[in-house]
A = this chain, B = another copy of it.
Amino acid sequence: MRHYSTSLPNPRQACLCLRPVFGFEPPEVRERCPGDVDGVGSASSMSTGSRRPPVAAGDGKRIRDDALMLHDRDRAPGRRVTLEDVARRAGVSRAMASLVIREEPGPTSMTRSRVLAAARALGYRPDRRARSLASPTSRLIGVTFGGGGRFHFDLLEGLYAAAADHGYDLILSAVTPERGEQQALESLADFRFDGLVMLGPPVAEPGMAGSIPVAVMGWSVKDDSVDVVRTSDEHGMSLAVDHLVQLGHRRIAHLDGGSGLVAVARREAYVEAMGEHGLGDDVLIVSGGEDSLAGLRAAGKLLASAHLPTAVVAFNDDTAAAAVSLFAQEGIDVPGRISVIGWDDSHLAQNPDFDLTSVAQRPHEMARAAIERIVARCDGVEIEEREVVLEPTLVIRSSTAQPFVAIP
């Protein structure tokens, strides 16, 4: 009582009794949770210490009252289930239980099923902290991300899935204007991650050396100690331009994405793609940006120009959709008067109101590639090429068609 009076003023972590969603409050004892008084060290809990070895009261050592009462029926209410609990319930040692949980070879199928049953019954979930602390590899992959919008969010989703498949967990750290990349990395490093994935914002030189596997997603980087996973902008742009040229377009404009690394790459790819079709003279770049508003303004500029092109390749779906909206507002038919191509094949492109032809990068596959890279390197596999370039595809929908105006 003396010992615990200050250390447990309220439930906190020590009394973590969450709803069934969490799945780690054993069904058998859940009903004891709600109204229960935190009985650690209380007189009432002492009465349950029947199995407790005869220790002289006040013998000067810190008695693990709580540990001693950890028999199935006597666990402190809400106390989280540990491997120890599982092992005891299954009647095996902790080591055995550990092997079973980690699906390591060794235990007999008999042992295995007993342990598994016990774990399920108790709602056991391993403690990631203890796990990563104990093992030489933390099985934690750090992820830095910025305000990258939907696409980064999709990447995140993919990363979670891929990491889980490899038995890794993700720890995220946001990079904000106030909180630079360095700080984000430091706070991640305090968790001792095994590998790092950087989603953004795109920086020219990631602040990491080659001591730990690092993968950068979505943009290219010169530092050759990091892996790069990206979709080929060149290929994507050439798919888009090819498609339009095949339909008969020549005057194809590009609503660009501003000054970001990705925008620059796509702009250059556009120029090149046009050149390859001998359309160098028809190059028309309208400076824009990454969001719908930038797209709106760029589309406005286009409308103000003397000679409206017959097709437009936008930087992304947001800007493309904005352009389509504006065109609609102005009574300019898409694709009748002008064809529009977006990028990312996002929900916007798939939205029936827009139904945009769009260059599709598959974020989940990119994520999978990045995780596989990292995991492989963590396992000591030597990989030569530092760059994974996925080929995008062109999803053709109803925003592109043959040009209205005949080719002069």
Contact = CB atoms under 8 A, between A and B. Distances in A.
Interface in A147-188: 147, 149-150, 153-154, 156-157, 160-161, 169, 171-174, 176-179, 182, 185-187
Contacts of A130: 129, 133
A133 B137 contact: no
A194 B13 CA distance: 5
A276 interface: no
A12 interface: yes
A195 to B, nearest CB: 9
Quickly give the copy total for this chain: 2
A173 B176 contact: no
A348 B13 CA distance: 41
Contacts of A321: 293
A191 B292 CA distance: 38
Contacts of A58: none
Give the interface size class of chain A. Answer: 35 or more
A179 B163 CA distance: 13
A187 B23 CA distance: 11
Interface stretch (A206-214, A249-257, A266-274): A206-214
A166 to B, nearest CB: 14
Contacts of A153: 147, 174, 176
A101 interface: no
A292 B329 contact: no
7 contacts: A16-B211, A21-B207, A127-B190, A171-B171, A292-B296, A296-B322, A329-B330
Given A18-B209, A129-B192, A300-B329, 9 more contacts: A8-B136, A11-B211, A11-B212, A13-B194, A18-B212, A23-B186, A78-B211, A160-B176, A293-B321
